[in-house]
Chain A
């Protein structure tokens, strides 16, 4: 008994090291899978608060650019409004349904990563403001990512610049779809893989969200084709240059699909049968 006790005392540093190392590795492995970084995330009270203080200070430096972006968006929206004014086609019905189906929340980005292989953003909006896991996050120029963790006043967003991320996207011209992933190399270039080889692919073509998921509405712009090659399985792998500058995000919109629940239940019932 005494021998064992002495053994523990002699090796106490090694034991401490082993226990803590094991704990750290466990946290690491957990962080590599989606949806379970519950208590170790920057959406908590302390780090959220500090990031908010920092963002309060640094947001002034980007105001000119932000204003320009808002101006551009206003111009675009005005253009659409003018179009509907003189257009009495039943298109209007369609658009009102779009707005009814999706609700928007605006939020400020208080922390943004783009240099790692699994990048997350922290935003200043949480469950108290109606943010829920699996809401889509976009800006005027395109998609940003998906909410993956929520606390009372903050939330973290899994960026599309994350090797776990996978978003359904399609070609604007032909509606051929594929999966949007990231090869971790450049922060403004993502990859659209598994596009059918019959698709007419041209450098400079626009890529839109596919609408096959309940997260993003169909037809949001993502980027343009920069390069393409024919990969395995006879499908195209495309390099997509994003419209968004992922390194310079200040304000984003969150999208809530009010019918996500309904769709999910329906799909589940289909599977059960």
Chain B
């Protein structure tokens, strides 16, 4: 990681948190569906960056979202799980080329990129909603929330990636 990447990550962090808590948490489409765009920070964190640092930053990221949402530590827990599982998911989605630092997330083929986003978002949302709802009697609600929010998040994350990848 060089200096420009650190500054970029820093601003990305602040902007994503503010966007999430001030705008996206209040969409409530059809009553309960919200996209969680802040996951993008973990997705596009430099691939050669320190893994321990990523886990720690994901924790702070999730905790900030929790702080604004009064949700205890559910976002923090979900975020660190995907931060920790990221190398595995990267390897699964992009194949061996990831190990040699050959890929750029912006320029990856569509299918590989969408697999990566899909797996990360799905794991994140599943953990998020299980912890938030925290009861076995609402399994249907859990699956419904996970499913619809995931679709919403994946579309939004993919659009954001496409929108901002031209410049680089």
A binds B: yes
In the complex, what's the smallest C-beta–C-beta distance from A68 to chain B, in angstroms? Answer: 22
Mark out the residues of chain A between 233 and 247 whose CB falls within 8 Å of any chain B CB in the assembled complex: 247
Contact with A along B58-84 (1 / 0, CB 8 A): 010011001111111110110011011
B22 adjacent to chain A (CB < 8 Å): yes
A31 touches B73 (CB 8 A): yes
A115 touches B72 (CB 8 A): no
Mark out the residues of chain A between 31 and 78 whose CB falls within 8 Å of any chain B CB in the assembled complex: 31-32, 37, 40-42, 44, 46-47, 50-51, 54
Most buried by A among B18, B25, B76, B138: B76
A47–B133 Cα gap in the complex (Å)? 23
A12–B73 Cα gap in the complex (Å)? 22
B77 touches A117 (CB 8 A): no
Q: How many chain B residues touch A (Cβ–Cβ < 8 Å)?
A: 38
B42 adjacent to chain A (CB < 8 Å): no
Which residues of chain A have C-beta atoms less than 8 A from B68's C-beta?
42, 47, 50-51, 111
By Cβ-Cβ distance, the 5 closest A-B pairs, closest first, are A31-B72, A27-B73, A24-B73, A24-B77, A24-B76
15 further interface pairs, Cβ-Cβ under 8 Å (given A13-B55, A116-B32) = A12-B52, A13-B52, A24-B59, A28-B72, A28-B134, A30-B72, A31-B73, A37-B72, A40-B70, A40-B73, A41-B70, A42-B69, A116-B69, A116-B71, A187-B31
List residues of A whose CB falls within 8 A of some B CB: 12-14, 16-17, 20-21, 23-32, 37, 40-42, 44, 46-47, 50-51, 54, 111, 113-118, 120, 122, 156, 163, 184-187, 247
CB pairs A–B below 8 angstroms (30 shown): A13-B51, A13-B52, A16-B52, A17-B80, A17-B84, A21-B77, A21-B81, A24-B59, A24-B76, A25-B73, A27-B73, A31-B70, A31-B72, A31-B73, A40-B70, A42-B70, A46-B67, A47-B21, A47-B68, A113-B69, A113-B70, A114-B28, A115-B32, A116-B32, A117-B132, A117-B134, A117-B141, A122-B70, A184-B138, A185-B141
